[in-house]
Chain A
Amino acid sequence: MTDDKRILELLNTRDEAGLKALSDKYTPYLMKIASNFLSDRNDCEECLNDVFMRVWQEKLSVKPELLSVHLASLVREICIDYYRKNHRKKRIASEYTVSLSEIGDLASDGKASDPEESIDRMWLSGLLNAYFRTRPKEVRNIFIMRYYYFDSVSEIAKRTGSTVMRINTLLSRERKRLRKYLEQEGYEC
């Protein structure tokens, strides 16, 4: 298995062997994440193709140790776009759908804000970063697993050696805590 440093070297020299190595190594990993968003295998496949295409077209300037995080971010972004584009045409049953439902006590339904309001989103990101840095590592990681990677609660329970009930409770409390925090910062939740 090619290491990440080598993969990045190959990609940055436009060597297609890098793309293959990347695909070989990360397809299962990215498929897992994509499948948390999209229930259809073909949809996942399409998103993964977009990820690899974007990696190929855009020069990667990430550190090798952050390659997996970067790829996860890419597939997350692409899958969310795909989800939003297609969810109204056909119901997509996925962990992402469930997660959207769960954050109903934190945020309301509705499309993303206009691009002009991206400053607000940057501000919100800053608040979230600040918030999570104050939280216990385990709680923060579980929240990110659920609402960034959209891992299922049962998966998280297995990974953390906990129970489904406890993870659900923890997430529920954390949403309420975050809501309170955001309201204090002026957001209407």
Chain B
Amino acid sequence: MKRAEEETYREYASARIDQLRRVAYLLCRDWHLADDLVSIALVKLYRHWRRAQRMESLDGYVRKILVNSWLDEQRRPWRREQAVEELPETPVLDPDPDGGALLALLNELPARRRAVLVLRFYCGLSVTQTAEMLGCSEGTVKSQTSRGLDALRPLASRLETT
């Protein structure tokens, strides 16, 4: 990579780090791991920068790298979390008024379901875009969204009433 290209890369990465950290944190709920994931994603982006910078949706490409990096992390046995497939009907909510309950509930979701919710409702992607990013069908995205929202609904109701 030439110096001018690297400067372009540096400008782009500097401007996106904060947003990428937030997405990564929503996925993994650990700031240290979030920073690691962002670093991994940016190294991969650097490797493909010449091709990537010509893409129509560069932000989407970077998010895809980030999400896939996190999913890869999840597959590693020593990283594997105890995911709960079915949540209790009445979850115990964290009374933290700063939104800890939302994050706690998000944390209870299986990895891909969490990724679907973050991509759909935080990154604002459509069903089609989310399906393309995760490499699954649109039906899967819809069902994962529905189940994820079911899990979050008690919290959403509470947020609406406060």
Is the pairing of A and B real?
no
- Residues of A near any B CB (own CB < 8 A): none
